[in-house]
Amino acid sequence: MEGNVQLECVQGDITQQGDLDAVVNAANAELRTGDGVAGAIHRAAGPELEQACRPMAPIKPGEAVISPAFGLPNKKIIHCLGPVYNIDKPSDELLARCFQNALWLADKARLASVGFPAISTGAFGYPLEEAADVTADAVHSVLSDLNHVTLVRMVLFSGNDLQVFRKAFRMT
Ligand code: ADP
């Protein structure tokens, strides 16, 4: 608990977080399906998701947009484009902006709970420890701005990723 917001790090699949109001997609600029998180989210949400996203594309690194969740068990999906490590620069600022913009957007939409994957740490090549530190700082930096969000959950795919994020969030 940090102020009024509960922070969690769990191991799991971002498409299986039925108790959360919103989940965050590690999106591509075109907001299309793809590999990794974007593929899993679009498969679970169904083809309506690409259609709904089309008018909002393209987005830039650090930006976040919100859509309905269709076949996913959440109310909304927040799509963030993470930086490609050391190509989209400054990568740390752009990664931090993803988390900040997503949380501000969720709060504006009066959502109470948001789940994030480890944005940029897959195909976009961000080293895990560095990404975890940037993520923890970014989440902490906006907590005092939040009026509606009361739960932020990091959903890590592997046990190793979970340990690294727990350490960055000082949960160990
Ligand atoms: P990016 O392109 O932003 O790097 P990826 O989707 O390639 O995004 O990967 C981001 C992170 O999400 C990686 O650590 C990857 O292991 C993890 N991941 C992949 N699929 C899932 C899923 N279904 N649920 C949660 N995390 C996932």
Could you give the domains of the chain?
Answer: 6-168 (3.40.220.10)
Task: Confirm or reject: Cβ of 10 under 6 Å from ligand 1.
Answer: no
| Residue 154 contacts residue 11 (beta carbons within 8 Å) | no
Over residues 126-162, the pLDDT tens digits come to 999 999 999 999 999 999 999 999 999 999 999 999 9
Task: Confirm or reject: Cβ of 15 under 6 Å from ligand 1.
Answer: yes
| Residue 61 contacts residue 81 (beta carbons within 8 Å) | yes
pTM over 0.85: yes
Give 51 Cα–ligand 1 centroid separation in angstroms.
Answer: 22
Over residues 35-48, the pLDDT tens digits come to 999 999 999 999 99
Over residues 63-104, the pLDDT tens digits come to 999 999 999 999 999 999 999 999 999 999 999 999 999 999
CA-CA distance, 62 to 50, in Å (whole number)? 20
Instruction: State the closest ligand 1 atom to the C-alpha of 34, by its place in the atom list counted from 1.
Output: 6
Q: For the residues 17-46, what does the mean pLDDT come to?
A: 98
Q: How high is the pLDDT of residue 2?
A: 78
Q: Which position has the token pair 């620069």?
A: 89
How far are the Cα atoms of 22, 41, 157, 158 from residue 17, in angstroms, in the given order? Answer: 9, 11, 13, 16
Task: Confirm or reject: Cβ of 2 under 6 Å from ligand 1.
Answer: no
Q: Is residue 94 helix, strand or coil?
A: helix
Task: Confirm or reject: Cβ of 44 under 6 Å from ligand 1.
Answer: no
CA-CA distance, 121 to 84, in Å (whole number)? 9
Which residue has its alpha carbon closest to ligand 1 atom 15? 122
| Residue 102 contacts residue 116 (beta carbons within 8 Å) | yes
Task: Confirm or reject: Cβ of 136 under 6 Å from ligand 1.
Answer: no
Task: Confirm or reject: Cβ of 121 under 6 Å from ligand 1.
Answer: yes
Q: Tell me: pLDDT of 1 over 90.
A: no
Q: Tell me: pLDDT of 172 over 80.
A: no
How far are the Cα atoms of 27, 116, 148, 149 from residue 53, in angstroms, in the given order? Answer: 11, 19, 25, 24
Give 125 Cα–ligand 1 centroid separation in angstroms.
Answer: 11
Give 48 Cα–ligand 1 centroid separation in angstroms.
Answer: 22
Q: Which position has the token pair 């699949």?
A: 13
